[in-house]
């Protein structure tokens, strides 16, 4: 079954395309991209309304699907439905499930269940260490064989420098990256908020910026020593970004990501009408203005490679407690694209083309995924964006099983119009006009 996405504005940095173009899909592959492609008989033509942008499918390389083990927070089905609604055609899921994804058996079960229930592609990330205990390496070759695209102990740092060295050396042999959650555990201590004036006044135990940047520096030194790639998750401080920038200047194979909440919110949000809102509690914590500015500068200058959500669902009851007893984390799959468009593209921090790099091309490249490009022969994973549509975030309409977002009620400019995975339409935004043909195509499968 051939489908032609006709008349859209295509942005694909891998082919240098940024303009009016058609995309021809055949089954689960892209077969042609170009202006005014000839329409053979038997090709279903789907007109893309004016103003919409057609991009290679977005990839969120940092998601907690909570499945297996915490299915009351999220499941593979609900998490991938939220991903589709957020414009993501693939997600990489972190291994802190119950049981921890530290064996091929768990990986295979995730892969199999995702094939059955997943709305978008799911790429598991295996644990660096057995049980994520930070003691001995998990069977990384086995994990990769079963489908893991990276290893990480995310949620916890790899505290031991020696274990981190071994992980980099060993995983490097198989060409899969080690993703580290950078945090020096003794400095973080019992901290629940960024250490600074706001936490001091609120009487909240602080997590100093140095708890993150010390580990960033350590990981970069180890990556330099081992000559293997490292990917640093959710960087949040100006010191971390400075270290990353310096590492890139000396040619290190290191990459990093930032989250939408870290480029949007500061810790000042914890005061005033939303004081002690547990939906503002995440790790790393919301930082100061100067840190947010550094994150924005990193996005602009190229220090930052990826925007990832760190989607971390928690049930309402778990969050409706005292601030220091609430779990860390917020959901983010459905707010990432609107926040990126509103806060970054429309405010001139980055171009739309760079957004596609940050959310599609780069995460695909780092994890060696087949997506991230609309070149003929590649996967027919497509994200269609309505960059000027105004939307109001309403968590009650989220596809996620959880509602823990600090962005509820926000009005933002920029929305996901549709998501296509392997040629199948998996999401169409009912509030964007002119997408009936796409919706009908989705219903036919």
Q: What is d(CA 174, CA 172) in angstroms, rounded to the nearest whole number?
A: 5
CB closer to other proteins out of 208 and 313 = 208
DSSP conformational letter for 397: G
- Cβ of residue 200: shortest distance to other proteins, in angstroms? 4
Euclidean distance between CA atoms 333 and 355, whole angstroms: 16
Other CB atoms within 10 A of residue 187 CB: 17
Please pick, among 291, 310, 342, 381, the residue that the annotation labels catalytic: 310
Shortest CB 233 distance to other proteins, Å? 25
- The C-alpha torsion from 425 through 75 and 87 to 369, rounded to 10°, is -90
310 carries an active-site annotation: yes
Report the distance separating Cα 145 and Cα 138, nearest Å: 13
Query: How many Cβ atoms are within 10 Å of 198's Cβ, its own excluded?
Result: 22
- Give yes or no for a contact between 398 and 405, defined as CB atoms under 8 angstroms apart: yes
The binding site for other proteins (CB under 8 A) comprises 195-206, 208, 272-273, 275-276, 317, 320-325
Nearer to other proteins, 71 or 268 (CB): 268
Cβ closest to other proteins, residue 198 vs residue 340: 198
Task: Give the Å distances, CA to CA, from 380 to 2, 88, 318.
Answer: 11, 13, 39
- Quick one: 275 or 368, whose CB is closer to other proteins? 275
Q: Which is nearer to other proteins, 18 or 324 (CB)?
A: 324
Q: How far is the CB of 317 from other proteins (least distance, A)?
A: 7
d(CA 91, CA 371) in angstroms, rounded, equals 11
Closest CB 207 distance from other proteins, rounded Å: 11
- Min dist. Cβ of residue 276 to other proteins (A): 3
Beta strand segments in 252-352, E: 254-258, 306-307
Enzyme catalytic residues? 310
């Amino acid at each position: 079954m051939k489908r032609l996405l006709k008349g859209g504005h295509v942005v694909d940095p891998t082919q240098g395309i940024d303009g009016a173009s058609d995309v021809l899909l055949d089954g689960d592959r892209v077969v042609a991209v170009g202006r005014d492609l000839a329409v053979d008989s038997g090709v279903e033509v789907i007109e893309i309304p004016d103003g919409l942008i057609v991009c290679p499918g977005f990839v969120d390389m940092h998601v907690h699907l909570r499945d297996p083990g915490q299915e009351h927070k999220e499941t593979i089905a609900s998490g991938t439905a939220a991903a589709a609604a957020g414009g993501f055609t693939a997600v990489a899921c972190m291994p802190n499930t119950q049981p921890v994804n530290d064996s091929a058996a768990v990986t295979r079960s995730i892969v199999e269940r995702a094939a059955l229930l997943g709305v978008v592609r799911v790429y598991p990330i295996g644990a660096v260490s057995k049980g994520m205990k930070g003691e001995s390496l998990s069977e990384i070759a086995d994990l990769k064989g079963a489908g893991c695209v990276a290893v990480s102990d995310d949620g916890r740092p790899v505290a031991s420098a020696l274990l981190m060295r071994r992980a980099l050396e060993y995983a490097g042999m198989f060409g899969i990256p080690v993703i580290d959650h950078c945090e020096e555990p003794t400095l973080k201590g019992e901290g629940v908020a960024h250490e600074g004036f706001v936490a001091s006044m609120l009487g909240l135990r602080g997590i100093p910026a140095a708890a993150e940047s010390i580990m960033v520096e350590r990981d970069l030194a180890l990556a330099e020593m081992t000559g293997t790639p490292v990917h640093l998750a959710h960087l949040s401080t100006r010191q971390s970004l400075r270290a990353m920038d310096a590492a890139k200047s000396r040619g290190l194979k290191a990459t990093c990501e930032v989250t939408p909440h870290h480029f949007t919110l500061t810790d000042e949000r914890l005061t005033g009408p939303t004081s002690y809102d547990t939906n503002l509690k995440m790790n790393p914590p919301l930082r100061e203005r100067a840190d947010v500015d550094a994150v924005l500068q990193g996005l602009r200058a190229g220090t930052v490679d990826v925007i990832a959500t760190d989607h971390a669902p928690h049930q309402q009851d778990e969050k409706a407690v005292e601030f220091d007893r609430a779990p860390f984390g917020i959901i983010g799959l459905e707010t990432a694209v609107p926040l990126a468009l509103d806060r970054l593209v429309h405010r001139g921090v980055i171009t739309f083309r760079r957004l596609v790099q940050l959310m599609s091309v780069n995460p695909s490249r780092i994890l060696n995924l087949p997506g991230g490009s609309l070149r003929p022969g590649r996967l027919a994973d497509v994200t269609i964006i309505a960059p000027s549509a105004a939307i109001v975030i309403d968590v009650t309409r989220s596809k996620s099983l959880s509602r823990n977002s600090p962005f509820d009620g926000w009005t933002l400019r920029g929305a996901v119009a549709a998501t296509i995975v392997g040629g199948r339409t998996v999401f169409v935004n009912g509030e964007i006009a002119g997408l009936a043909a796409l919706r009908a195509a989705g219903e036919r499968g």
